[in-house]
Amino acid sequence: MVSERSLPVFDTASVSITKEEGLTLYEDMVLGRLFEDKCAEMYYRGKMFGFVHLYNGQEAVSSGIIKALKPDRDYVSSTYRDHVHALSSGVPAKEVMAELFGKSTGCSKGRGGSMHMFSAEHKLLGGYAFVAEGIPVATGAAFQSKYRREVLGEANSDGVTVCFFGDGASNNGQFFECLNMAALWKLPIIYVVENNKWAIGMAHERATSSEKIYEKARVFGMPGYEVDGMDVLAVYSLAQEAVARARAGDGPTLVEALTYRFRGHSLADPDELRAPEEKEFWNARDPIKKFGAYLVEKNLASSDELNEIDKKIQVVIDEAVNFAQESPEPDPSELHRFIFAEDD
């Protein structure tokens, strides 16, 4: 079975983006894809260890949502599939790669690894290994933004929080509790369900009594939207609306992005549960190829310009690997550092 659920149709003719916006989105998606491809290579060559969950195929969700944010004030909460969310948030590729190598120059000082990317500088609240673990954290971040603005009188505290999680997390109690609080308090948060159809090895439609996750927003009186997560224009347009709504004080939004991971659950997953025809159906909707063709068709970029971006990003990836390989291991004397907050 490919899917009983039809993909939402989005009229890209109604969206107007500049060349700069288009190239930014394209470059960010290419960065995510090439980075993950290199991670697979390094993992199989024995250069990185532990569980590594790649994001290939879902790039339009990360780029479309995060590039609609203001990087100097908005927060992002991720999952264990967090490398690309970190990259879209502005964490340098070399710091993300070094973290995967367990080096002291990594964004989490080599302590977090693949599933626990964190960067205070880039307002990345972290990757979370437990399913739905990041939802309460993100809800708390949204609450502090509202508290600073309305109680402490910080007029410039209009930050918006984006919380990413998978379809499996929408069956967790934290999902319902946090959406209820966010609606009650009109928190500036966007809950983004990356529905890639599979919660590890469990097909989404077999694990939930209500397949359409976005409809659950109605229970809490908040807007809920379904979007084609393989179409970065659709995601970006919807994200802009949801961000504006949150920043204006109108409360939370639930977004369900229908997407697909091109690889197995993790690099240790032989990926034998998904039917070949299902993979072929989704592979044909590759968001990067689709958006590249759109940019050329609309005369927003030439094929040569896109090829130059591909080459530039490949250099960035190669430099990130070299940086990670040459970086030092964490010093054993610092074993107990970064457990508690430290004075500046």
User: For residue range 155-166, what is the model confidence (pLDDT) as tens digits?
Assistant: 889 999 999 999
Query: Measured between alpha carbons, how far is 143 from 28 in angstroms, rounded to an integer?
Result: 29
Q: What is the pLDDT of residue 344?
A: 61
133: which residues sit within 8 A by CB, 6+ positions away? 174
| 210 pLDDT above the threshold of 90 | no
For residues 68-88, give the mean pLDDT.
Answer: 97
Q: What is the pLDDT of residues 241-297, one digit of tens each?
A: 999 999 999 999 999 999 999 999 999 999 999 999 999 999 999 999 999 999 999
- Looking only at the bridges linking them, the beta strands covering 124-126 and 75-77 are parallel
Q: pLDDT class for 1, splitting at 50, 70, 90?
A: very low
Residue 1 resides in a domain = no
The answer to whether residue 332 sits within a structural domain is: no
How much is the pLDDT for 2? 46
Q: Which of 95, 56, 71 is nearest to 230 (CA)?
A: 56
The closest of 87, 3, 17, 57 to 261, measured between CA atoms, is: 57
List Cα–Cα distances, 338 to 21, 120, 332, 334, in angstroms.
Answer: 37, 13, 13, 9
Domain assignment present for residue 11? The answer is no
342 part of a folded domain = no
Residue 7 has pLDDT above 70, yes or no: no
User: Which of 134-138, 193-197, 331-335 has the lowest average pLDDT?
Assistant: 331-335
Question: For 88-114, what is the mean pLDDT?
Answer: 97
For 112, residues 6+ apart whose C-beta sits below 8 A from its C-beta are 99, 106, 118, 126, 127
Banded pLDDT at 44 (limits 50, 70, 90):
very high
Is there a contact between 226 and 258 (Cβ–Cβ < 8 Å)?
yes
Residue 226 lies in a domain: yes
**Percent of the chain predicted with pLDDT > 70:** 96
Residue 4 has pLDDT above 50, yes or no: no
Total-model pTM: 0.95
Per-residue pLDDT at 125: 98
- CATH number of the domain encompassing residue 304: 3.40.50.970
For the chain, give the secondary structure using H, E and C.
Answer: CCCCCCCCCCCHHHCCCCHHHHHHHHHHHHHHHHHHHHHHHHHHCCCCCCCCCCCCCCHHHHHHHHCCCCCCCCEEECCCCCHHHHHHCCCCHHHHHHHHCCCCCCCCCCCCCCCCCCECCCCEEECCCCCCCHHHHHHHHHHHHHHHHHCCCCCCCCCCEEEEEEHHHHHCHHHHHHHHHHHHHCCCEEEEEEECCEECCEEHHHHCCCCCHHHHHHHHCCCEEEEECCCHHHHHHHHHHHHHHHHCCCCCEEEEEECCCCCCCCCCCCCCCCCHHHHHHHHCCCHHHHHHHHHHHCCCCCHHHHHHHHHHHHHHHHHHHHHHHHCCCCCHHHCCCCCCCCCC
Q: Are strands 198-199 and 202-203 parallel, antiparallel or unpaired?
A: antiparallel
Contact status, residue 253 vs residue 191, Cβ threshold 8 Å: yes
How far apart (Å, rounded) are the C-alpha atoms in residues 29 and 6?
Answer: 24
Specify whether the backbone of 194 is left (phi greater than 0), alpha (psi in -120 to 50) or beta: beta
Confidence of residue 340 (pLDDT cuts 50, 70, 90): confident
Task: Measure the CA–CA gap between 74 and 101, rounded to whole angstroms.
Answer: 28
* Residue 249 φ/ψ region, left for φ over 0, alpha for ψ in the -120 to 50 degree band, beta for the rest: left
User: At a CB cut-off of 8 Å and minimum separation 6, what does 154 contact?
Assistant: 148
**Contact assessment for residue 101 and residue 324, using Cβ atoms and an 8 Å cutoff:** yes
The pLDDT tens digits for 192-207 are: 999 999 998 899 989 8
Which residue segment(s) compose the domain that 163 sits in? Answer: 16-323
Is residue 113 a part of any domain in this protein? yes
Tens digit of each residue's pLDDT (9 = 90 or more) over 212-256: 999 999 999 999 999 999 999 999 999 999 999 999 999 999 999
Cα separation of 170 and 90, whole Å?
Answer: 27
Residue 341 covered by a domain: no
* Position 28 pLDDT exceeds 90: yes
Residue 101 has pLDDT above 80, yes or no: yes
Structural domains of the chain, count: 1
